[in-house]
Chain A
Amino acid sequence: ETGVTQSPTHLIKTRGQQVTLRCSSQSGHNTVSWYQQALGQGPQFIFQYYREEENGRGNFPPRFSGLQFPNYSSELNVNALELDDSALYLCASSLGGGRVADTQYFGPGTRLTVL
């Protein structure tokens, strides 16, 4: 069984640029959730994708967008980067689209630094 993987591990961008982060879900999982974790904080929910459709969204602006592919891997895109976007971005996979009680399993994260 393959766990959740994310790429890249680290990324440095400048303000105003765009970034794409990638996530491969755990084998057999059809749901991917993205979280932003600032230093010293808990993960904040960005959005969730279930079977290629957005299934829920947290309090993040439209410049945060995503995509899920037929193999259930996912991308997080952030446009017009701001300094406050510097954080650890976590991807979590699960089975059930958030409609049933299931456990999320996290990838190692992507550390984004915006200068």
Chain B
Amino acid sequence: GQNIDQPTEMTATEGAIVQINCTYQTSGFNGLFWYQQHAGEAPTFLSYNVLDGLEEKGRFSSFLSRSKGYSYLLLKELQMKDSASYLCAVRWASGGSYIPTFGRGTSLIVHP
């Protein structure tokens, strides 16, 4: 199957740094997305990784290791508004189609 594993819930303190991990099946891998989703709202795009390494975008960074089937989303200088669910989505090449599969999401709670 095309499994994606990420922690269910994490808590952190305002101003701190948090790392949310995501592991996935490597066969046929064709890209990984991170989305942020506030309660009751649609997911919003954060980052896309297809090559190994770190992609930095402001306070958010995303890392990928294709050989290990591993990615993480790093959030720095946490703010209360960062409390949300963070979805890891992986695209596998299947019959010429590249439709992403989403993990269950990691609920991040930021405390003052």
Contact = CB atoms under 8 A, between A and B. Distances in A.
Interface of A: 4, 33, 35, 40-45, 48, 55-56, 88, 90, 98-101, 103-109, 111
Interface of B: 4, 30-31, 33, 35, 40-45, 48, 50, 87, 89, 91, 96-105
Contact of B97 (A99, A104, A108): A99
B87 A103 contact: no
B102 A44 contact: yes
A106 B41 CA distance: 10
A109 B42 CA distance: 6
Which 6 A/B pairs are nearest by Cβ-Cβ distance?
A: A42-B102, A106-B42, A42-B104, A43-B102, A98-B97, A56-B97
Given A56-B99, A98-B99, A101-B50, A41 B33 contact: no
B108 to A, nearest CB: 14
A23 to B, nearest CB: 11
A100 B40 CA distance: 30
Contacts of B41: 108-109
Contacts of A109: 41-42
Given A98-B98, A105-B45, A106-B44, 18 more contacts: A33-B99, A40-B105, A41-B104, A42-B87, A42-B89, A42-B102, A45-B99, A90-B42, A98-B97, A99-B98, A100-B98, A101-B91, A103-B33, A103-B45, A103-B48, A106-B42, A108-B41, A109-B41
